[in-house]
Structure formats: C-alpha cells, structure tokens
Amino acid sequence: MECRVLSIQSHVVRGYVGNKSASFPLQVLGFEVDSINSVQFSNHTGYSHWKGQVLTADELHVLYEGIKLNNVHQYDYVLTGYTRDTSFLEMVVDIIQELKRANPNLVYVCDPVLGDHGSMYVPQNLYPVYKNKVVPVADIITPNQFEAELLTGKNISSQKDAVEVMDLLHAMGPDTVVITSSDLPPRLGDRFLVSLGSQRHVRPDGTRVTQRVRIEVPKVDAVFVGTGDLFAAMLLAWTHHYPNDLKTACEKTFSVMHHVIQRTISYAHELAGPGRRPSPPQLELRMIQSKADIEDPAIVTEATVIS
C-alpha cells in the first residue's frame, strides 16, 4: 500500500539539507513525498555566503489550502525539521492537528532542532512552542542530549538519567524517542558515540510495553550539515517497516548514516588532498552515491536492549 509523507523542511539549491536530505532516501524506500520548503536558500548556512527566501506562516497556510482544495491532503506521515519562526511552527502544529483529525493513524516525526553542546541556535521563544505545542502532537522525536534535557528540565549524566528523560518525553506525548547523540561514556572507547532510544507500544492483549535500546556508533572528525534531516527520515522509514522493533529500526537507521558519512568523508578527503581540512562544498552528503546502502544497509553496529 502506498505511503504518503508531507515533509516541511528547508531547501537548498546546492547540496543535501532538509527536504533534499529526506525526500530522496524516502523515495528510494518507496514512500511518496510531498515537500513544502520552509526556506529556499542557495546553499546551507555553513558556507561563507548564502542567499534566499524564508516561507512565512501565511505562505505555508496558502500552500496547505491549495493541497486541501484539490483533496490531496491524505497523509500517513508528516516530517519536520529546522525552523526559526514561532508563527510558522504554530501553523505546522495546526496543520498536523487537522491532518490527525482526518487520519488518527497519521504519524508525526519531529526533529526538535533547538541547539547542541549546551547552547541554543534558534531563537529562545521557539523553546516553549516546541515543549508545549509541538512535542505533545509528535509521535516520534529525535532530540540530541541537549534538546532532550532542555525539553524535560532534567540533566543526563548516566544511562539511568537518559531512561528517565525518555520516559518524561513519552509522558509529553511521543511513543518513540531516540536521543541521537549523548556525552555518556561509550563502552567501546572514545572513538564512539552513545545514542539511546525508547518505544512504547500496546500488545494485542492491551498491555503496554516499552522497549529501550542503546547503540554505540563510530565518531567522525568532521562537521556535516543535513545528517539530522537524513536521520529523522530514515527512522521514519525503518520504524514503518519494523513498527514494534526499535532495535532493528535503529540498527538500520544508524547503519545508513554510517555508510553515507563514510562515503562522504572519504570523498571529501580525496578532494581536499593530504593534510588539508575539507571545505563545506566537499563535505556535502554523498546521497545519490549511497542509494544501495539506503535501500539495504549492511548492519555495522548492533543495538543492545536495556532495561
């Protein structure tokens, strides 16, 4: 059965960020994707210069109304990422609530982009909108450690803390929470990064169960743009294929990320030359070249089920 996704994210002419990081891999995996560009830039903001336009809440509303007038607003998933405007974010929430009234089974996947490493990189007034309006209507969220701590008001300094934070996020609304990166000490050594996930679901007999997983992924010494968008899209896809198996969904998702990043960094170093740090254009994700890995990723890291 055809699965339709509405992706409301940024768009760049050059490179892979936002909708371009999400749409191609989702389409490769068989999803029909309709994209609304929250911004349209020449390139991502990691370059020295960029030009473009930002979509307003009113303009988003006009686009959505056009979709509705033609009665083509039947979606199975909504996917959102980076935004800097509160009115735009509130309009996204209104659209999702309306779509959920039409289809109670719609799944909203949200990357709550607020900041990282102890500081916010969006305006402060977005925080209460995410906490009080966005997260409560989300079904799957992919915060990093900083964002998870910010949304719950609880610090993470141990795996037990992380589990408690994920439970607090569940209580706010989402049934699936994946903390994409953390500062927890990896068991495999300093060259790895710890991620954690938690998923609630109801068994056929009506009992509610929670599966929690921990996964350690290799670190890469480079700054990539668009990886969060790709991660959220892949988690959408693999939780669709493995709806009650977060362990497998995470293994598939993180393995796709690994293959795309490794291909990207190898190509970037080849272009940059020995001893030279790759530039933003050289570090654009090698998405098209990774098509086979997106479709059928070789598992490179196994998740551990934790209590």
The CATH number for 40's domain is: 3.40.1190.20
Tell me the average pLDDT of the chain. 96
pLDDT exceeds 90 at position 165: yes
**Residue 222 pLDDT:** 84
- Helix then strand then coil, in percent of the chain rounded to 5, is 40, 25, 35
Residues 150-168 have a mean pLDDT of 98
pLDDT confidence tier of residue 234, bands split at 50, 70 and 90 = very high
| CA geometry: angle 293, 17, 216, nearest 5 deg | 50
Under 8 Å between Cβ of 144 and 150 = no
Q: Which residues pair with 217 in a beta bridge?
A: 193
Known catalytic residues? 229
- Residue 6: its H or E element: strand 3-12
* Phi and psi at residue 276, to the nearest 5°: -110, 140
100 burial class (0-12, 13-18, 19+ CB within 10 angstroms)? middle
pLDDT exceeds 90 at position 223: no
Domain count, the chain: 1
Residues 269-291 have a mean pLDDT of 95
Under 8 Å between Cβ of 188 and 218 = no
Residues 166, 6: Cα–Cα separation, whole Å: 26
- Say how many C-beta atoms besides its own lie within 10 A of residue 121's C-beta: 11
Handedness of CA 145, 150, 156, 160 (dihedral sign): negative
15: left (phi over 0), alpha (psi -120 to 50) or beta: left
**Residue 84 pLDDT:** 87
pLDDT exceeds 80 at position 307: no
pLDDT exceeds 90 at position 206: no
**Residue 203 pLDDT:** 85
Tens digit of each residue's pLDDT (9 = 90 or more) over 108-126: 999 999 999 889 989 999 9
Residue 28 sits in which domain range? Answer: 4-306
